[in-house]
Structure 1
Amino acid sequence: MDPILKTLTETMTVEAIAIIKAKRLAMKQSVNMNAMQLGAEGREKRRMSDNMQKELGKRAMERERPCRVFEEQLLGEREMTTAQKYLKLFNDSKMRSLDHTWPELSSTAIEETIDMPELPPQPEIMTEPPRRKTRYNRYGQEKFLTDQKEFGINPQGSNLEKAAPFLESQQDKQLKRNESVSKEIIERPKHDSKGRRRSKLYSRMPIIVVPPTKTSMVSLHNIKKLLQDLRYTAMSGMTRENALKEVIVEHRFKNEIVSYRVIDNVAHLTPVEWDRVIAVFTSGPRWQFKGWPKGANRAAIFHKVCAFHLHFRNTPMSNELRKMQVHSLALSPHERHSDSGILMEFWNKVDQHMAVHARQFAFIWQK
């Protein structure tokens, strides 16, 4: 057998093993005794600290001053409990038994020695029912100001009684004035107010002129669909029974809706209205500009306003218009879906012209 793997009984004697066990037991007992001693010392320290805290609490309670709240001060001292009442009686009897200085006197002797003063008769106390508490009203103090005036102001308003006739006369005058004004408004013709509103509205509208001929591709009958809906409609499919004098077309310019006045007769335009002309549709003939300023000079007119010529692609512009400052709007004869892109060029040119001549067209922003 390998000597390294021998058991303890084979390598040591029984006495040596017993000595080792005794030493181990003694060490274990000493460790336990030390732990118990440390635990007892810790408990003693905690007990002493608790006693100290208890003593400090007692001293603080002895020196503490009882606090009386506001309600107790108003109502007086607190009512004693039954035990407190018995203790008070016991203390009083004990004090009387200890005090022997007072001689025993009979009731007659007390009456002779002490002269009792005569008390006046007490009046009868009238018991009134408790008043009901009313809600606070800041105007309730005015009952104490009946004869007072602050800074020359009468808070009761009694001085208004003297001024009542004067106020009534002023009211009568105001009523008569209102009646006269209302009569004038009623008697005023309605067409005057409508005409005034219309003239004020028209004064903020730029003007677009279209050809008066029936053979032109653009007229008052299809101008609204052409410029507002951006879609061309042939004149052959439209009724011309109702004679139109003018048409209002709306377009957004600088995030604002601007109304444009479209006409085909310039004979009644005033000089102020001529300055508001912004665009013209020309069909080609010279007589279309008869009655225009600048001596009917088309080159001078096209230099001041935006000129447009609406035609189909298979019918080109005349050489005379091509040499002038005229913008071509060539539509497809059959493809109506392409009208919006071509007609949008009209508004691009008009918006550019208004932006360049902002001072001339500043009237559209007037309210």
Structure 2
Amino acid sequence: MTDAISLLRQFTVENKEYTSDNDRFIFGDLAYPKDIKTNYLVYGTGKDGTPRDYYTLESIVFLLKNVELQHANYVKTAAEKGISAISRPDRKELLSYLTGQTNTADRIDRNAPIDVVAMQRPLQVKRPAEDPRLDPTKIARLEDDDFQKLKDRIEKKLEATTKEMTANQIRPLSGALSAEAILKLRAKFRATARDKIVDFKENEDQLETVAETQPVTADTFEVLQRERTWRNRTTVLQSTGKNFAKNIFLILNSIKAKEEGEQKQELLAAQRSPTRDLTVRAPVEGYSRYNQERFVPRDDTDEFKIDIHGSYHGLTLKTVTEGVQPNKLTSTTNVVPKPIPDKVDVPVSKRVSRTPIIVIPPALTSLITRYNCKELLEDLKYISTDEGKASGIKRDGDILIQRKKGNLTVPYRITDDPVRLTKQDWDERVVAVFAQGPAWQFKGWPWSGNPVEIFQKIKAYHVKWSQLKTDANIAKWSVQLIELDQNKRHLDCARLRTFWDSLDAFIAKHKPYLRY
């Protein structure tokens, strides 16, 4: 059975309209008195032996209708109208539950008794205009007649069942069987009942018969008329908790983008490495006037096919006179050596850095400078520029900070000289920039030095005192403010953590291949 506060929450979440008259609230076909007690426990009751007290439906509805009022004005208005006000500790949790932001509330007492008697009967559907209106006394008489007809029908079924049973079918077991035989039959029935499969059809018929034979009173009849199915075997298995799919898919997409970014970086590095030049170069020979004669034909002996380098040494006269060609001796000319490949010089490709870069203002009037950026971003504590100078630590060139993230440390490069950065650094590694306010800070920067276009590609921040007014240019640009208190240094850590959280989200979305 639906309680009043659950029905009110359903109508509020689904933006359904409910009406009210002098002494009750009407929710569709159900109505509740205004002074009915809900199961929402009043703060401070039910503890240390104090009796439990619950808010009325009228108090909760009045809070919903005046939620825009401040609590003091709300209490004053409720007192003027004679309505008990909701206490301040219960206000926020009760509104979150009624508006659907939470599925339950800690102050709801599930064991609280529901005032069923106080709940009104369902409103009757209006009759068509052509139907005659019945007199109230006649309506009551018709309801009594219907109840009497139902009672008579049940009694007839009981009488018919009794008449069908004959005397031959009924016999006393005690006279035909002994006590031992009855015990044996009972044990046998129990043993076979464990293995017997009950027919659902027979069981259903038996349940219907039992339901029909049970006596129906006026109270039972009224309850059955208003009974509604709240949960069944399907809805009880459906979870009503929060849906974590959005957060889980966000984490999985971040991991996927990070892995794809690393693979893309390795592919770019492989493409940038120059192709190896494996061309074999022959050694350069010195000048020799004998070697050059190899390429010039001899005009005086070419037509006679005379080998001027040949010899008859070791041949007999018979061999020469018979015209046998002597074996040609190996030419004594210098044999051209095979070219020996030189050692191939393969240039080693430069490793691409994955360290993120943060650009800070060069002016010492900014709240973040090269003299305090390490304490501000690494230690999450603000110190002035003068204190950083007085420490005596030299900070020339770029500054490398180690951001602590759990049990790991992640390096970040801090620079106040953006002119030294290459185009590749701007496109791949620069993740954040601290804006001071004047537009001349971005002179000589990429994207024509336009702050609007720069802040679309790089996350922008501005550090300011919370007591001072925001700069006009900063207010126009897409810049996230980091407001520090001039005197409360214990608040620095919490406010600077928001900087790292937003920067991590930006890197995960736009440059996941970097270390962060």
Q: Name which one, 1 or 2, has greater alpha-carbon Rg.
A: 1
Between structures 1 and 2, the one with greater helix share: 1
The two structures share one fold, judged by TM-score above 0.5: no
Higher relative CO (Cα under 8 Å, sequence separation at least 6) belongs to 1
Q: TM-score, normalised by structure 2?
A: 0.31
